[in-house]
A = this chain, B = another copy of it.
Amino acid sequence: MSDKTLMLGAFQTFGLGGAWRLPANTSVDFLQLDHWVTMAKRLDQAGVDFLFFADDYSYPVLDGRVIDVAIEKAVLFPRGDPSTILSALALVTERLGLVVTSSTTVEKPQMLAKRLATLDHLSKGRIGWNVVTGSGQNASSKLMGEKMIAHDDRYAVADEHVNLTMKLWEGSWEDDALKVDKENGIYADPSKVHEIEHDGPFFKAHGLLTVPPSPQRTPVLFQAGTSPRGRDLAARYAEAVFVAAEVDMMATQIADIKARAEQFGRSADAIKFMPAGTFIVAETEAEARALRERMVGYQTLEGAAAAYAFFTGLDLASMDLDKPLATTKTEQGRTNVERFSGENGKPAPTVRQILDEFRRNGVMGQPFIGTPEQVVDQAEAVIETTGADGFLVQPDPTGGYDDFIDLVMPEMRRRGLLTEAPSGPTLRERIFGEGQARLPHDHPGTAYIAATPVAVG
């Protein structure tokens, strides 16, 4: 075991958790401020590094219609807008990072830049942006009244979107543009505030980010999605990558993204890798296993098929249950097609096996189950095998993190796996160390940093 300490994020959607039916599960309160305030305070005080909100404009659809069972059983539905809650959470927490998802096929770069720059100010530099490309295109493109964008094109859109957004954040204001000089009536130096000029195939922009420079400028860039195009996007721009698959597949993905990043001139430790971590923990292994089975018991094969349709667009119910996937062709997310296609060197499972895997584990890979000692043993093994840097922790069966905080973190701390004094105050410093509030020098976004040309001799 290396002596590195683990980074911990808390994974949430702004909706119901898979275990919402458990009597003690509180995720049905997701539209109440208090629900999030209580959770965020707890995470902050416990020393979890950040709260991460997945999001999507999509929901499970087949043949162009929402799947009834998704509404009835709350499968990847409903969803509120997590960007709306961040200022309240910034207010009640001291150091917790706040990571929010925004899709590059839905939100305009100019709007996202203004919104996240404002939030980066309000939180004093604690914002992260999880860049997604909109894998749920079959639903969201219809909702938005737009043509569905093919998988690889979505990554070209994402690449340009991220670049334009970084231009706005890094290039609009020079570091010393802001004066706030009441005496002389000078708010900012116009010669140090620059209009961005961008003319790309997907986006055009000529103008200003109207928000003065925030502590991090570019929020910490998160990414998920591990198709070849997704890995390429991660290797170019991501500072933290969320992975979720079987352990050996995660190891391959992480090694591949690291190698690609180095090809792009980024350092080997420029990206932190965060596997999904589902901790089902109790005083005894038997209790933990019983809890686990109770949770799985709430999941139906119909719900699993709806979830699979959400992530891939494929209709498992229309396929032969005893054969592998009848087609692996999709223009939606490929991560969960390639995972089960036999293309990764593993034998392709049958549709029945895929449904059962989705029913039990969804997209989050194998859970850790047992006593605190056992789950931390299992988690340490994942870190060792994959070279990952920590976990994006899935909520407890209750929807929050009380078990994780009360039972798992003390065991991690006992083993020296957690930092005692995280650096800050910004999220990027918390992840990469004191003084690193801005993008590092080997990040492509630094090319856009605004500076007045210096006349040379």
Contact = CB atoms under 8 A, between A and B. Distances in A.
In the assembly, how many copies of this chain are there? 2
Interface stretch (A25-33, A246-254, A344-352, A409-417): A25-33
Contacts of A88: 87-88, 90-91, 122
A198 B145 contact: yes
B21 A190 contact: no
A263 interface: no
A97 to B, nearest CB: 16
Given A72-B187, A84-B83, A91 B143 contact: no
A208 B66 contact: yes
Interface residues of A, number: 81
Interface in A340-390: none
Nearest to A164: B145
Contact of A182 (B15, B21, B66, B146): B21
Interface string A6-38: 000000001110001111010010011100010
B59 A115 contact: no
Counting chain B CB atoms within 10 Å of each CB, the highest count among A15, A65, A78 belongs to A78
Nearest to A23: B182
A122 B90 contact: no
A144 B32 contact: no
A62 interface: no
Given A31-B211, A84-B122, A143-B206, 11 more contacts: A14-B118, A15-B210, A33-B91, A71-B190, A72-B190, A74-B188, A78-B212, A84-B118, A88-B90, A140-B207, A145-B199
Interface of A: 14-16, 20-23, 25, 28, 31-33, 37, 57, 59, 64-66, 68-69, 71-74, 77-81, 83-92, 106-108, 110-111, 114-115, 117-119, 121-122, 139-140, 142-146, 180, 182, 185-190, 193, 195, 198-199, 203-208, 210-212, 214, 298
